[in-house]
Structure 1
């Protein structure tokens, strides 16, 4: 392989399979960061397209001929509003992950500082906590809710 070919392949994000094969000592190297930046930017773009579509659907002002159609249309609007809220929340998480990539904190647990892990980040690129920390948080939340009820 020529130097130009080696350099150009190093300037490209790895495939998901190549990412999984990288040694643990290479965790959050430049190529891994490139991979996740690309994935997060693609997520962001899709969310923005979806939000624009949902907002257009909300703006449609069709008159409903009877009460049943009106009730169905209102339920559809409530569903769209919940979906928009969820997507806005996800967009904030994506933006947070992109900021952490810029600062070098991406891929590391906000609570423990330990690596989150490639597999978890592949499943949830916006993950902020390692699986152990997240499990403890969820356990505490369930315990708190259980004791409040």
Structure 2
């Protein structure tokens, strides 16, 4: 099934077996690509040699720290993908964890790991901003 075919399905097909299979395949593919990228980046970090020139040491360490931060973000995304796959297995995928409403196909196509509807996510972000300001 293509994205266009998915979006063309009637509303009563929401999270049908074929739609769940589409998103499961999408998530598994993304997970595999992410794991390969993480493995490659870890290998690069392990094989990294410090520059002999002290002037280059600072920028090299900054670049290494940036790579570590990127790996941490990718690891968190990998965890979110696994959580989404768990929601598919339990029948909860596509439904807002807060309100129980549909998350929506378009949102899931853009962010297949989404567990909240747009409205619930906006409320969560507003609350987080409010807490930071206090």
Q: Give me the TM-score of the superposition, normalised by structure 1.
A: 0.87
After superposition, the Cα gap between the structure-2 partners of 1:63 and 1:37, relative to the gap in structure 1 and judged at 3 Å, is: same
- Which residue, out of 72, 81, 85, partners 1:85? 72
2:21 aligned partner: 34
2:96 aligned partner: 109
Mapped partners of 2:85, 2:128: distance in 1: 27
| SS of 2:36 mapped into structure 1 | helix
Mapped partners of 1:127, 1:136: distance in 2: 14
- Which residue, out of 43, 49, 58, partners 1:56? 43
- Which residue, out of 82, 101, 106, partners 1:95? 82
For CA contacts below 8 A with separation 6 or more, give which structure has more relative contact order: 2
1:45 aligned partner: 32
Structure 1: where are the runs of 5+ without partners? Answer: 1-13
> How is 1:116-131 mapped onto 2 (pairs within 5 angstroms)?
116-131=103-118
RMSD: 0.9
Q: CA deviation at 1:53?
A: 1.1
Mapped partners of 2:23, 2:103: distance in 1: 13
1:21 aligned partner: 8
1:136 correspondence with 2:123 = yes
1:4 aligned partner: none
After the TM superposition, which of the residue ranges 36-45 and 55-64 deviates more from structure 2? 55-64
Structure 2: where are the runs of 5+ without partners? Answer: none
| Structure 1 ranges of 4+ moved more than 2 A | none
Q: CA deviation at 1:107?
A: 0.4
Max Rg structure: 1
Mapped partners of 2:48, 2:104: distance in 1: 47
Mapped partners of 1:119, 1:28: distance in 2: 13
Deviations 1:21-78 (A, max 9, x none): 1111110001100100000001100110110111011112424121221112111110
